[in-house]
Structure formats: C-alpha cells, structure tokens
C-alpha cells in the first residue's frame, strides 16, 4: 500500500530522447507525477512516477525502450528548514541507508520526497513510529 512503483529508464545523452519518452506517455494519456534525471556525459537515468505504472512499463517495452520497475516510498514532510534533516536522522538512527531521493512540491505547503531505501519495510516502520506521513498509491498516482 505504501510501496510506490517507479520506472527507471536508461537514456542516451542525446537531444530528443527525453521528448520521445514524454511524447509516448502523453499519447497514452499517462501523467507524470514526479521525476528526476541523473546523467553522465554519455547517458542518464530517468526516474518516473506515473499515474499508471504498469501500463507505462508495458508501453515502454512495446516501444522497444528498456525500463526497470522498482518500489520506493513517498513521504510528506512540512516544507520548512530542517524537516529533511530530521527525516534522515530517523533513518540513520535505524541504520537505514537512502540510496537516492528526489523531491516535488504540492500546493498544500508540504514537500513530497520519493525515496529509494535499502529496506523498504523497515523504513515504513520508522516513518510510522515517528508519525511521518507516508503517501499511498492513491495519493501519489492521483487516480
């Protein structure tokens, strides 16, 4: 319920690659809810949270685009100084490593953080014990 599906796509670092992915999703009426790109001089990794992850993965495969689906969590914290620091402290206190994270804002004055952690169930337990809001699939996908 709190595990969110994320698509990771390896892209050549060339003009038009990101456009082709977003166009494909647009034509299938799949909405991007969160994203980040990491890059090197040769390639990059596009991480996407979309409203229909299974359909998005199938669409990419059908188009010959390799992707990987992984489970992440999305937490809701107040959009103010120190909140991320406190969250990371709770995870470190429980000896949980954050592999990566990226944020996106909403209109409510909160920050949403998409997080890949090494032990997702333990991280969910930490968030629950510390009264940190975890978003459900319905919250994140918006469907």
Asked if 53 and 96 sit in the same domain, the reply is: no
Asked if 91 and 113 sit in the same domain, the reply is: yes
CB 41 within 8 A of CB 67: no
Per-residue pLDDT of the chain (143 residues; tens, 9 = 90+): 899 999 999 998 888 999 999 999 999 999 999 999 998 778 899 999 999 999 999 999 999 999 999 999 999 999 899 999 999 999 999 999 999 999 876 767 788 999 999 999 999 999 999 999 999 999 888 85
pLDDT at position 101, please?
A: 95
CATH number, domain of 66, equals: 3.30.2130.10
| Listed residues 17, 50, 70: the one ending a domain | 70
Distance CA 139, CA 137 (A): 5
pLDDT at position 142, please?
A: 80
- pTM score, two decimals? 0.88
> What's the distance, Cα to Cα, between the start and end of the chain in Å?
14
Domain that holds residue 37: 4-70
């Amino acid at each position: 319920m709190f595990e969110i599906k994320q698509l990771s796509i390896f892209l050549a670092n060339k003009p038009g690659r990101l456009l082709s992915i977003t166009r494909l999703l647009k034509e299938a009426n799949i909405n991007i809810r969160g994203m980040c790109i990491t890059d090197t001089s040769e390639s990059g990794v596009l991480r996407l949270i979309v409203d229909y992850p299974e359909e998005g993965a199938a669409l990419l495969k059908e188009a010959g685009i390799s992707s990987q689906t992984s489970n992440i969590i999305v937490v809701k914290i107040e959009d103010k100084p120190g909140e991320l620091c406190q969250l990371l402290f709770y995870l470190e206190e429980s000896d949980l490593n954050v592999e990566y994270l990226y944020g996106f804002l909403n209109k409510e004055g909160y920050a949403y953080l998409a997080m890949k952690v090494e032990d997702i169930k333990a991280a969910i337990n930490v968030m629950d014990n510390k009264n940190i809001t975890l978003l459900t699939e319905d919250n994140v996908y918006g469907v």
